[in-house]
Each structure stands twice: as C-alpha cells, then as structure tokens.
Amino acid sequence: MKHLFGSSEREVLLTGIVSWLRTHIDSFDPPQEDDILNVAPEEIRPDKRRKAFGELGAALRLTMRVPELAQNPEIRWLINEWVNLAKRRQIFFDVRRRVHLFPQCAVAYAVLKALGHPVEEVGQLLQTVLNRGFIDRVEISAWHKLDIKYYLDSAGLQHGFADDVTLLNESTLTRLPNLPYATTYDLYGLTHLLFHFSDFGLKDLRPLLGRHFEQIRRYAGLALSMCLSMQDWDLTAELLMSRICLSVSDNLLDREAAHALCEYQQSTGFLPGRAWMEGTIDGEGARDRDEQEFFDVYHPTLLGLFLICCDAQTR
C-alpha cells in the first residue's frame, strides 16, 4: 500500500503541525478545575478550552501507535506538556459530581493510560460514576454514544452502552442522508462513527458494515470531493481519515485531497478552519483575533496529526 502523502510532503506537514502546536501549547491550557468553587458542580459544562485540551490529548494518544512519531523529540515534548497540564490543572477534580465533564474526563483518562501515565484512583472514580447508572442511559445519538464508549473501552472501564452492531443499526451509517442535503453535522457523525468503529483504522470494517460497506465508501468519497470544492479542510481531513478507516488505498481522489491539505498548510504550520478561509475572523484587538484564530484552526491542525498517524499505522 502506498502512503497518502509523499515522504517530503509528510515531513513538511508534520514538522509544521508540531511546531504550531508547540508554539500554541498555552492556548490548549484548560481551566484550573480546583479553583472553580462558586458554581454548582452539576452546572459546570464543557467549554472550548477543555475541548481543545482533550482533543490534543486524543491526537497525542494516536502518535503512540507509530514508533517513529512516538520517539519524535518534539512530540515527546508535547506529551510531557500535556501530562503536566493535566496534573497541574487538576482536570479530574470533583469528577464524581461534575457529570457534564464526564466524557472529557473519560477521554483524558484513556489518553493518560495510553501515554504511560495511568491514574488508577481516577479509574475508580469514573467507574463509580458509571455504576450510578445514568451516563450510559441518556437519550443521545449513536454517534455520541460510540464516542464515549470507544474511550471507556480503551480505558478498560465497564459500561452499559450497546454493542457495535446495535449502535450501527441505530446510527445513520445504514441510512445516510442524501448528500446535497447533508449538513456538516451529519458528516461529522459519519466520520466519528467510522473512526471509533474501526479504532482509527486498526479494525477492518467489512465484517461490521457488511452490505453497507461499499455504499459508505462511495458516499465518503463523494463527500470528500464535495468538501474539497467547499474548501472545508477540517472535514476534508476527517473524511480522508474515514477513507483510511474504510481501507481505501492508492486512490487518486484521496491523494489529491491530501495534496490540497499540504498546499493550504500555512507557513506557521496550521491548517485553516472555515472562518479563516472565509476571512471572518475579526475580533476586537490582536489578542481577541488571535484567540478566535486559535479556536478556528486548532481542530483542522490536530486532524492533520491524526491523519498522519492513521496513514502511517495502517500501512
């Protein structure tokens, strides 16, 4: 199987992304959880800073699967910083009552375990919350159930979410929305289901998807070409990863999309988000603008790292 990126293309993309992440590590800094004492714990909601921090961790977790990346000194630096931030910010503080933070705490716990920094007492806290019988019994979509289930399984926690076949049948994968009407939200549903059912490309999806497999592959390809036309680099990267999860290889459309991502990587290393592409980042003052830009571009940039990992680990 050929790699999605040429070796020099991949080198430039990776170096740029890692450099940008290093420069912006402070922007991923989550709130000091044990300082938030004047809000009822049950009312504390996940915010964009916590989300960005968790997603950085999830991307770093995946680098551990690729020996070359796991040994990369810049990535080692990022991992150390992430672990230190997690400890310093007390991210699991009061988790038994901060129920809205549970999904992000589960991701962070799984990440710490994968990075070689398990926190056993947190595992017990999370398991107690799960045993209380509500986290896995809420009315949410199959996509969101699978998102949580994937990291609970990865962390070795016991839960009552349905098995993959049941979640598949509850999901849109067996009845995808017609593409001209599909929203970006629908497409994120598609990509996340594929990431987590396939463990980011490690598991062959054919046995699970059965007769739907080919149709989903074609749909993901069409969605990818549509997102290229839209210049939506966030979804382009997500769909490229999905195609890897669907065992697509040596495909010229995918190569073209990968090439486009490299072409649109900016000199400081980030991949542009939708607002950046539309030129609608217009905060008051440089600080505000920088923050807006960070929250627009960090996600596609992290996806670039996810994509490099998926591409490397499955070939």
Partner 1 sequence: MTNAISISSQASHKAAQWLSYSWSSSHNASPVLAHGALALAEICLALNSDSARLVETVISDILAEDQLNFAVADLVTALVSAAAVIKAGTSPTQSSLHIYLELLGEIIPLSTQDANGVIARMALEGVTLTEGDASAPLMEIDLSLLRSGRVEDTKRVLERVEVETRFGTRAVRVGAPLPELLEGAGIHALSTYDLPLGMRCLRACCYLDGESPLAIEADFLRLSQCNDGSFGDFEAAIRKMSRKYRQSEAELHIKLPVTFQSLWTLAELEDRSFRLFRYVFGTHGLSASR
Secondary structure (DSSP) of 24-82:
TGGGGPPP-GGG--SS-GGG----HHHHHHHHHHHHHHHHTTSHHHHT-HHHHHHHHHH
Residue type, 111: V
Is residue 271 close enough to count as binding partner 1 by CB under 8 A?
Answer: no
Is residue 312 close enough to count as binding partner 1 by CB under 8 A?
Answer: no
Contact status, residue 16 vs residue 73, Cβ threshold 8 Å: no
Is residue 181 close enough to count as binding partner 1 by CB under 8 A?
Answer: yes
Contact status, residue 313 vs residue 66, Cβ threshold 8 Å: yes
Is residue 60 close enough to count as binding partner 1 by CB under 8 A?
Answer: no
Is residue 215 close enough to count as binding partner 1 by CB under 8 A?
Answer: no
Instruction: Looking at the chain, list the stretches that DSSP marks H as alpha helix, in order from N- to C-terminal side.
Output: 7-23, 48-63, 67-70, 73-88, 102-114, 120-131, 142-155, 164-170, 184-197, 206-209, 213-230, 233-245, 252-264, 274-278, 285-313
Is residue 180 close enough to count as binding partner 1 by CB under 8 A?
Answer: yes
Choices 15-23, 143-151, 199-207, 251-259; region in contact with partner 1 by CB under 8 A:
251-259
Contact status, residue 181 vs residue 164, Cβ threshold 8 Å: no
36, 64, 260, 275: which one binds partner 1 (CB under 8 A): 260
Question: Toward partner 1, which CB reaches closer, 25 or 253?
Answer: 253
Is residue 187 close enough to count as binding partner 1 by CB under 8 A?
Answer: no
62, 277, 281, 310: which one binds partner 1 (CB under 8 A): 277
Choices 70-78, 196-204, 222-230, 241-249; region in contact with partner 1 by CB under 8 A:
222-230
Is residue 185 close enough to count as binding partner 1 by CB under 8 A?
Answer: no
Is residue 211 close enough to count as binding partner 1 by CB under 8 A?
Answer: no
Is residue 214 close enough to count as binding partner 1 by CB under 8 A?
Answer: no
225, 262, 275, 290: which one binds partner 1 (CB under 8 A): 225
The alpha carbon dihedral of 78, 202, 258, 298 has a sign of: negative
Positions touching partner 1 (CB under 8 A) are 178-182, 221-222, 224-231, 251-253, 256, 260, 263, 277
